[in-house]
Amino acid sequence: MTLLTLGIYSAWAKVRARRYLYGHIWLGDTAFDYTANPVAILRGRILVAIVATILWFANLFSLWYYYAALAVMMPLVPWVVVRARTFQLRNSRYRGIAFDFQGKYWDAAVWYPLTWIASFVTLGLAWPFRIFGRDRYLVDESRFGNKPFRFNGEPGPYYGVYVTVWVAGVFLFFLTCIAAVSTLSTEPSEPSPAAIYLPLAFVFAASLLSVVYIRTRLLSYRWSNTQLGDSDFILQLSFGTMLWLYLSNAVAIVCTFGLFAPFARIRVLRYVVDQFLVMQAVGEVTVEAGEPQRLGATGAEAAGEFGLEIGI
Amino acid sequence: MTAVPCRFFDGRTSAPREATLTITPDRSVVVAIVGIESRRVHDLTDVRIPSRIADTPRHLLLPDGAVCEVRDNDSLDTMRARAERDPLPAGRRFERLLHALDSTWRGAAAALATTAALLYSFTQWGAPMVAGVVVAATPPEVEAVIGANVLTLFDQFNIIEPSELDPNRRNELLAAFTEMKEDTGVADTELRFYSGRRLGANAFALPGGTVVVTDELVELAEHDEEIIAVLAHELGHVEGRHVMRRLAQTSSMLVVWTAFTGDVSVAGLSIFAPDRLLAQSYSRNFERDADRFAFDYLGQAGIPPTRLGDILRRLERMSGTAGMPVWSSSHPGAEERSRNAEEAEAQARDSAEGDE
């Protein structure tokens, strides 16, 4: 349909896919509801397409134009972040009550372009703090009806996650170097296949491991330290399970030329949502005291991370 | 009229109330909350009923902001169809079609087949057509700027370096190239020599008409006619504006394939594999065109077209790509191209004998 309508239907496809996912995420006895207007998403997509085209042309002519175009667009980033998250939350409903986001432009500006620059200047040392601040901002400004979400996390665990990844990365890098050098010394004249494939294997393994590790740990930490009114959430994802899901998904997607992608998405979502626990009541649902209720999930954030969803 | 059980949310609190929902033949929606004498009646046109998605609960939005959650999708649709029977709005028919398409395996298979057919036709016929239009509309100045940028980039990343060929040797080849320009009538082009470094023995045409030959290729050639054959091939690319065409084709395909992959964020690049393979097939077609151009010129100039095959074979042996499957490569195999060269030579001989 998207192809037949030259891409216009993609916005409707997105809403239908999302409604399907929300409609299958149950919290207690009720499923979530997604109410976005496809026309708004279409408008957002047209805007993105225009921006991408400008960048593409700028890049074609010269790198400097490209950087100039990027610099001009920088002030738009916080605005897009606020709009996208507001759009996503306002269109997520549970029991007839909508979620909401009340973040301000300047707060978003701190956690989006400004701390990128700070992380760059400090060679990445400020990055975990930036992720912490961003999470706190996104959670604290979110609401469900009249109840605000509250984030109780600390920057420490964020540093723990990233330092683990950095140390492991350096260790893996040395292992690869040792392996590469040992194959080189046996055949000094010709570059052996190992010398070519080892760096590729390193890049693949390092990026997969770090992405999955960071995602697993931070998603768990973020949700386990989020409160909604009197309700606490608990999310304990296992790194091993997530790694298996991502690895098997990647293999299956490559083998089927992408046809497995929808299944892959559902597999990860199902696992994350199934691990979700809500302690106490959400929105006046009374549960037996102290007994954790196994449940569906809460909103798109549960699985989709805080990814950007454009909808102006 | 049987009522459908539903859960009623007033939109102000999240407390659910058991209720029933009825759509009457006179097109009004009646919501009756169980246990109290409260009935709400709305006009059907004021109630937003979302389209059906698989068998997920539907949340009907009432005009006062209240929400009715209905799980019995079939009964709801039957009741609504009965009320709307005459005439069934076009929008509803479309919604039904969508539901049929994306809730059955047969629908999914049909959509997949249609997608494959559309993608194939676009790659086969659509993209070359788009590329033709785009290239015709691109001013030569723009093309020249793009070509110059490519050279600058190559230079910055030390992919090429200034040529170390003997200037006399260069002038000989430049003279041959000038002659070729005059004979073929391709005017907007110039020949440049570079030391190939990472490129090794290579020759290529850039947008804007610049033909680049590396020192290594000149040294690899065992006969000047081999170099002339390669130059004629590159001139074929210039004449057909192949580089710009390829750029336009691949970018237009990128747009279409992105539309195809749509929301798939986890798919990674594997999804572009078929796209890459087809792009390579365009490229091979351009190579065949350029070969044909070269054979024509060589035939006229009295040079055996097999010279092109000779140097191509040597290149392939050197780069170790001999025997690689054709579909994975941007160029047809040297074997095939040499065969074409031999055929072209045989033809040239035949026509020469005919003239005598």
pLDDT at B176 over 60: yes
Q: What per-residue confidence (pLDDT) applies to A291?
A: 28
Chain pair A-B, CB pairs under 8 angstroms: 117
Domains, chain B, ranges and CATH?
Answer: 4-103 (2.30.29), 118-355 (no CATH)
The stretch B295-300 carries a mean pLDDT of 84
Is A253 within 8 Å of B270 when comparing Cβ atoms?
Answer: yes
Global pTM reads: 0.69
* Residue A257 at interface with chain B, using a CB cutoff of 8 Å: yes
How far apart (Å, rounded) are the C-alpha atoms in residues A245 and A251?
A: 10
Is B9 within 8 Å of A14 when comparing Cβ atoms?
Answer: no
Instruction: Name the more confident of B103 and A183.
Output: B103
pLDDT at B76 over 50: yes
Write out pLDDT tens, residues B221-271.
888 888 888 888 888 888 888 888 887 887 777 777 666 655 444 334 444
Distances (CA, A) of A33 to B11, B22, B64: 13, 22, 18
Q: What per-residue confidence (pLDDT) applies to B268?
A: 44
Instruction: Name the more confident of A153 and B346.
Output: A153
* Residue A283 at interface with chain B, using a CB cutoff of 8 Å: yes
Q: What per-residue confidence (pLDDT) applies to A186?
A: 55
Sign of torsion, CA B267 B273 B274 B275? positive
Q: Please, which residues have CB within 8 angstroms of residue B121's CB and are 6 or more apart in sequence?
A: none
pLDDT at B12 over 70: yes
Is A96 within 8 Å of B67 when comparing Cβ atoms?
Answer: yes
ipTM, two decimals:
0.72
List, edge to edge, every strand of the sheet that includes A226-228.
A33-34, A92-94, A97-101, A142-144, A147-151, A226-228, A231-235, A276-279, A293-294
Q: What per-residue confidence (pLDDT) applies to B278?
A: 59
* Residue A178 at interface with chain B, using a CB cutoff of 8 Å: no
Nearest CA in chain A to B60: A96
Q: What per-residue confidence (pLDDT) applies to A76?
A: 82
- Write out chain A residues lying below 8 Å of B122, CB-based: 3
Domain boundaries, chain A: 154-224
Q: What per-residue confidence (pLDDT) applies to B271?
A: 46
- Write out chain A residues lying below 8 Å of B59, CB-based: 33, 35, 93, 96
- Disruptive mutation site among A1, A2, A3 for chain B (greatest number of B CBs within 10 Å): A3
Is A258 within 8 Å of B98 when comparing Cβ atoms?
Answer: no
* Residue A107 at interface with chain B, using a CB cutoff of 8 Å: no
Total residue length of chain B: 356
How far apart (Å, rounded) are the C-alpha atoms in residues B131 and B248?
A: 5
Task: Report CA dihedral (B145, B148, B153, B159) to the nearest 10 degrees.
Answer: 160
Give me the average pLDDT of each 10-residue run along chain A (312 residues).
77 87 85 86 79 78 80 84 84 85 88 85 90 92 85 93 93 84 60 68 85 92 88 88 90 80 87 81 38 30 30 26
